[in-house]
Amino acid sequence: MNYRLSNSNITDLNVADVLGKKINFDSLDKNQEYDISAEFYNKDLREEMLNESVAYEIKRKHYAFIKTVRDLFERNSLKINKFYLMGTVIDLDQNEINISLLKSNYDKKSNTIWPCKEIFIFEESKNKLDSLLINDQISEEDYESNLELLKDELNIYENEDEHEHRYIN
């Protein structure tokens, strides 16, 4: 189930009320455990494009949002195991939060926070490319080409003011 909160930010004091009005808690199975995936427009990222000089920090407000949403579900007798919180600058409009509720495949409570979803996707894909290169399954040229395609796809750019070439890590 997906819930899109317009005109909302993770720091809004009434975010639990807004979400609570969107969800029909009576229709959810109280015996089922759930995971939540929440994406928010991260205003802390300074530009519309990603750049290696931008700080991707986990802040208190991220944990406060998770606690607020977890508390909302607990008040409605629903157990949340995994909670994924991902910031983005590409997929959402400013003041928008997209929350997905999924049946859980996990048995423990945990939180995963990525201030920038695009960097998370980049790092996961780069790790796969690294593995292919190390195991001689792709050439160095293919590796670099795929890495550049991935950066273009995610709008990730290296700082052009610096003269030395570095991969984003």
Residue 147 in any domain: the answer is no
* Tens digit of each residue's pLDDT (9 = 90 or more) over 11-66: 898 999 999 999 999 999 999 999 999 999 888 775 555 666 666 778 899 999 99
Residue 127 in any domain: the answer is no
Residue 27 in any domain: the answer is yes
Residue 152 has pLDDT above 60, yes or no: yes
Residue 136 in any domain: the answer is no
Residue 164 in any domain: the answer is no
Structural domain harbouring 13: 2-116
Measure the CA–CA gap between 23 and 80, rounded to whole angstroms: 15
Structure tokens at 99: 């929350």
> Could you tell me how many helices (H) and strands (E) the chain has, helices first?
4, 7
Q: Which positions ≥6 away from 87 have C-beta within 8 Å?
A: 39, 40, 41, 42, 44, 45, 114, 115, 116, 117
* Tens digit of each residue's pLDDT (9 = 90 or more) over 57-116: 788 999 999 999 999 999 999 999 999 999 887 778 888 999 999 999 998 999 999 888
* pTM, rounded to two decimals: 0.74
Residue 81 in any domain: the answer is yes
Average pLDDT over residues 137-146: 91
As for how many domains the chain has, the answer is 1
User: Do residues 53 and 168 touch, judged by C-beta distance below 8 A?
Assistant: no
Residue 103 in any domain: the answer is yes
pLDDT of residue 78: 95
Residue 15 in any domain: the answer is yes
